[in-house]
Amino acid sequence: MEQEVYERTKDHMEKVIENTKQSFGAIHTSRASVSFLDAVRVDYYGTAVPIDKIASIGVRDLRSIEIKSWDKKDLEAIEKAILKANLGVTPINDGKLIRIEMPELTESRRMELTKIVKKIAEDHRIELRNIRRKANEQLKALNTDAKIPDDAFHDGLEHIQKMTDQYMKLIDTLLQHKEKEIMEI
């Protein structure tokens, strides 16, 4: 019984970590990254699809991304989608590919981005704490219904806490990495 609680809790915490990575990936630094375009959806024959489904995306150098559409007719739709996503960049369409140059970040913008990523990290830590609370409540309900003994209940609470600590450290590591990336000139 408690094993099911552990598995569900671990799955939920893994999703929080993935969500954290995606949220951090959406915050651009002056360094080019393919994940910068993950949230962009292109209107492709009436369906919103990710860019990587209709084009290849590559990092040309530290500050530029190239998008090569498999069908040159889609370049304009990709360009419009990037502009619509309001990412703070202007795509350059030369008729063969789209190039995105990442702008330099000012010191004040770096500080703003650092505050934003700290807030994102804290929001995800709160999610982890909520998952821990729910798991503890489930274990308590199992204990109250006499489906698990007191020893297993206390061991379960300890196991859930260790799991939470592990994922909290992972968020801290991701945050440190992102802060370093933002402050890098």
Fold type of domain 34-101: Gyrase A; domain 2 (3.30.1360)
Residue pair 42/98 in contact (Cβ under 8 Å)? The answer is no
Write down the pTM of the prediction: 0.71
Taking only the tens place, the pLDDT of each residue in 54-64 is 888 988 888 88
The 3-state DSSP class for residue 29 equals coil
Q: Which residue has the higher pLDDT, 184 or 69?
A: 69
The predicted-structure confidence for 31-56, as pLDDT tens digits, reads as follows 777 777 877 889 888 888 988 888 88
Tokens of 76: 């304009």
Instruction: Give me the residue label for tokens 């990037």.
Output: 82
CB count in 10 Å sphere of residue 91: 18
Q: Do domains 2-25+106-183 and 34-101 have the same CATH topology?
A: no
**Domain layout of the chain by residue ranges:** 2-25+106-183, 34-101
What is the domain class of 2-25+106-183 according to CATH?
Answer: mainly alpha
Are 41 and 49 a contacting pair, CB within 8 Å?
A: yes
